[in-house]
């Protein structure tokens, strides 16, 4: 198999040779470094590469070129290699060109000439872009394969689990066996196991039919059990708040373990695009953010246990004990609750039985490719629904957003509304809600009610994605920490009633800013009452909480 290509384009022969020289010096071992002296020549080269089904990892393109500038070239190149990373070279800090490149050519970075020394001004940027590209790169596959049925909830759960944990795998839809010889041969080879989908087929030749997530996790090397029984800090939940706390705790020398019941990243990890996170002008996906944060946490020595679920907490003197779903128990001095929230279920007749079989909650990135050239319906009017609609618009024939309110303006960020308005295959239906679902073994139709006209119409639909808010999952903490009527955990000043300490509070001091009604148990992120439901605020709370943990540990 040919190496993935890295392409540089510049009309100045001297600059082109210099760029090529520096690229070869750094990347020739893993990539084919290619060059073109014009946009037209580069497009011809890309078409040739695509015809051979070769991979392209990165395009590094000069902006100021005659006949076709960098933005014009990249705009066309995106249609040939949409997955390739894009970087722009400019001779000076041309802000207008940079903004145009971000908006029209969707570049990930722009660099200034000259870039000497490359070790400082070129390689760090390109290293980061290539690492991101490799995270999503799917070469001809010899690794883990999953044989299943697209409309099977069990198959969906396995695909979703692997995707959220950034495990490369090849999906093989059993329904396509008649037109795909590889799938037909696989079904024939595994015999009786093909009757018990999904089947996970591993690189070493072993396979599991209808596997449990924990069994697959152990097989592929995820850690499902802790290495020891005591940690200074135990974090329950692996969303942005939990990951930030883990990074700051471990980097400051605290023995830290994080327990995550599904996959690190939380709800944010499912976001197809986060456009307003500080420091990422071109945006980034929730999966990318989670992957980077996990790598950072592990580099500092954080132990990540997943998939594993906390089921109860007990307090014994200076120790807090957390029982896990496998029956084991971990102890710590400081416990950080960062479980986030779960998608709110849409309670309408017929919908529950199609979950994972046409009805999905927060699964945009997992199911997008399966919806190619289909009509997709998205329920919800907040940012998560808007981001999903934008993501699906790249694959689906049409995306219909069903919004209960009269407009998007009160629930969605202004920038996202603008993107939706300028996307031709997204259609927004306001004052509309799903009132019933129909189908046999999978979703086939929904009934949509319009509150203005009073009419209810049935429409054909195979995929319905629901983003209607979230609820906390904190019942396992009942009688341990104080919660409000919705289940969100109280902390800090909210715990005091009429100037008095919370019931059972044993200390003379007041609870800290992010401390619960039990000393040494802290809460951060979306599960905390009064939190701002933003990725940046969750990261901030997670990092701040470690300072309170230090103060607490210093007094026990």
Pick from 173, 185, 167: nearest CA to 372:
173
Task: Show Cβ contacts of residue 534 under 8 Å, excluding neighbours closer than 6 positions.
Answer: none
pLDDT band at 94 (very low <50, low <70, confident <90, very high): low
* pLDDT of res. 407: 94
Return all residues near 421 (Cβ < 8 A) that are at least 6 apart.
Answer: none
What single DSSP character describes residue 456?
E
Outline where 301-369 has alpha helix (H): 364-367
pLDDT of residue 83: 87
pLDDT at 125 over 80: yes
Torsion of CA 412, 527, 510, 235, to 10 degrees: -130
Higher pLDDT, 186 or 303: 303
Residue 96: which pLDDT band, with cuts at 50, 70 and 90?
low
The reply to whether the predicted model has a pTM over 0.85 is no
Q: Can you give the pLDDT at residue 141?
A: 67
pLDDT of 95 reads 62
- Percent of the chain having pLDDT more than 70? 96
DSSP summary character for residue 292: H
pLDDT at 140 over 60: no
| Mean pLDDT calculated for residue range 510-524 | 95
Q: How far apart are CA 556 and CA 549, in angstroms?
A: 11
| Separation between Cα atoms, residue 151 and residue 264, nearest integer Å | 26
Do residues 248 and 542 touch, judged by C-beta distance below 8 A? yes
Q: What is the pLDDT of residues 4-59, one digit of tens each?
A: 999 999 999 999 999 999 999 999 999 999 999 999 999 999 888 876 768 899 99
CATH number (3.40.50.1820, 3.40.630.30, 3.50.50.60, 3.30.750.24) of 230-341+472-553 reads 3.50.50.60
Q: Which of the residue ranges 142-151, 393-402, 432-441 would you say has the lowest mean pLDDT?
A: 142-151
Q: Is the per-residue pLDDT at 249 higher than 70? A: yes
What is the distance of C-alpha 502 from the center of its chain?
A: 37
Confidence at residue 230, expressed as pLDDT on a 0 to 100 scale: 97
pLDDT, position 168: 86
Residue 479, Ramachandran bin (φ over 0: left; ψ between -120 and 50: alpha; else beta)? left
pLDDT band at 498 (very low <50, low <70, confident <90, very high): low
Arithmetic mean of pLDDT, 352-376:
88
CA distances from 279 to 284, 292, 412, 524, 536 (A): 10, 14, 21, 22, 11
Say how far apart CA 147 and CA 170 lie, in whole Å.
9
Residue-level pLDDT at 79 = 82
CATH among 3.40.50.720, 3.40.50.2000, 3.50.50.60, 2.40.220.10 for 352-470:
3.50.50.60
CATH superfamily of 145-220: Glutaredoxin (3.40.30.10)
User: What pLDDT, on a 0 to 100 scale, did the predictor assign at position 414?
Assistant: 92
pLDDT at res. 92: 64
How large is the average pLDDT for residues 120-143? 85
Residue owning tokens 């060059």: 35
Per-residue DSSP letter, 108? S
Question: What tokens does 129 get?
Answer: 């872009």
pLDDT at 416: 93
Among the listed ranges 214-228, 274-288, 302-316, which one has the minimum average pLDDT value?
Answer: 274-288
Which residue spans within 149-301 are E strands per DSSP?
170-173, 199-201, 207-209, 230-236, 256-259
Q: How confident is the model at residue 205 (pLDDT cuts 50, 70, 90)?
A: confident
The yes-or-no answer to whether 230-341+472-553 and 352-470 have a common fold is yes
The CATH code that applies to domain 5-136 is 3.40.50.2300
What integer best gives the mean pLDDT of the chain? 90
Share of the chain above pLDDT 90, in %: 65
Of 204 and 96, the structure prediction assigns the larger pLDDT to 204
Mean pLDDT of 533-548: 94
pLDDT of residue 19: 92
Ordered by start, the domain boundaries in the chain are: 5-136, 145-220, 230-341+472-553, 352-470
Mean pLDDT of 102-108: 73
pLDDT higher than 60, residue 469: yes
Residue 240 has pLDDT above 90, yes or no: yes
> Would you call 1 helix, strand, or coil by DSSP?
coil
Give mean pLDDT, residues 90-102.
68
Beta bridge partners of 90: 112
**pLDDT tens-digit map of 164-204:** 888 889 899 999 998 887 888 788 878 899 999 999 998 88
Q: Which of 89-103, 212-226, 513-527 has the lowest mean pLDDT?
A: 89-103
């Amino acid at each position: 198999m040919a190496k993935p290509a890295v392409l540089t384009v510049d009309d100045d022969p001297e600059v082109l040779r210099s760029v090529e020289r520096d690229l070869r010096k750094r990347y020739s071992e893993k990539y084919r470094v290619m060059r073109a002296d014009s946009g037209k020549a580069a497009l011809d080269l890309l078409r040739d590469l695509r015809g051979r089904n070769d991979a392209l990892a990165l395009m590094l393109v000069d902006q100021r070129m005659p006949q076709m500038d960098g933005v014009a070239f990249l705009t066309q190149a995106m249609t040939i290699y949409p997955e390739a990373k894009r970087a722009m070279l400019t001779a000076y800090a041309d802000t207008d060109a940079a903004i145009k490149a971000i908006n029209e050519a969707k570049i990930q970075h722009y660099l200034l000439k000259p870039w000497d020394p490359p070790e400082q001004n070129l390689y760090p940027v390109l290293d980061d872009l290539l690492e991101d590209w490799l995270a999503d790169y799917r070469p001809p596959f010899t690794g883990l394969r999953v044989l299943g049925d697209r409309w099977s909830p069990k198959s969906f759960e396995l695909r979703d689990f692997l995707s959220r944990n950034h495990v490369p795998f090849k999906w093989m839809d059993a329904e396509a066996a008649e037109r795909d010889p590889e799938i037909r041969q696989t079904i024939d080879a595994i015999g009786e196991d093909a009757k018990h989908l999904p089947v996970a087929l591993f690189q070493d030749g072993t396979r599991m039919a209808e596997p449990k997530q924990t069994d697959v996790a152990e097989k592929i090397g995820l850690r499902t059990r802790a290495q020891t029984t005591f940690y200074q800090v135990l974090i329950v939940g692996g969303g942005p708040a939990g990951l930030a706390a883990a990074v700051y705790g471990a980097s400051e020398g605290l023995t830290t373990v994080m327990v995550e019941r599904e996959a690190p990243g939380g709800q944010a990890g499912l976001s197809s695009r986060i456009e307003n996170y500080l420091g990422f002008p071109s945006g980034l996906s929730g999966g990318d953010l989670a992957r980077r944060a996990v790598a950072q946490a592990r580099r500092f020595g954080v132990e990540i246990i997943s998939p594993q679920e906390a089921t109860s907490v007990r307090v014994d003197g200076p120790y807090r004990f957390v029982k896990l779903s496998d029956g084991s128990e971990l102890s710590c001095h400081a416990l950080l609750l960062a479980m986030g929230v779960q998608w709110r279920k849409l309670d309408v007749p017929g919908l529950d039985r199609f979950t994972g079989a046409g009805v999905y909650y927060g699964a945009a990135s997992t199911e997008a490719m399966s919806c190619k050239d289909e009509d997709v319906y998205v329920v919800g009017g907040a940012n998560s629904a808007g981001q999903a609609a934008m993501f699906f618009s790249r694959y689906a024939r049409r995306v219909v957003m069903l919004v209960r309110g009269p407009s998007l303006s009160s629930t969605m960020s202004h920038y996202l509304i603008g993107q939706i308005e300028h996307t031709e295959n997204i259609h927004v239906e306001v004052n509309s809600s799903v009132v019933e679902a129909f189908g046999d073994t999978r979703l086939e139709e929904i009934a949509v009610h319009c509150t203005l006209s009073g009419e209810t119409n049935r429409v054909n639909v195979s995929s319905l994605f629901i983003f209607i808010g979230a609820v906390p999952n904190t019942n396992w903490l009942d009688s341990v920490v104080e919660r409000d009527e919705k289940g969100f955990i109280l902390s800090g000043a909210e715990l005091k009633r009429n100037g008095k300490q919370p019931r059972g509070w044993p200390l003379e001091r007041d609870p800290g800013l992010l401390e619960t009604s039990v000393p040494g148990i802290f809460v951060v992120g979306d599960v905390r009452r009064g939190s701002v439901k933003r990725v940046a605020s969750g990261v901030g709370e997670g990092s701040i909480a470690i300072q309170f943990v230090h103060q607490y540990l210093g007094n026990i």
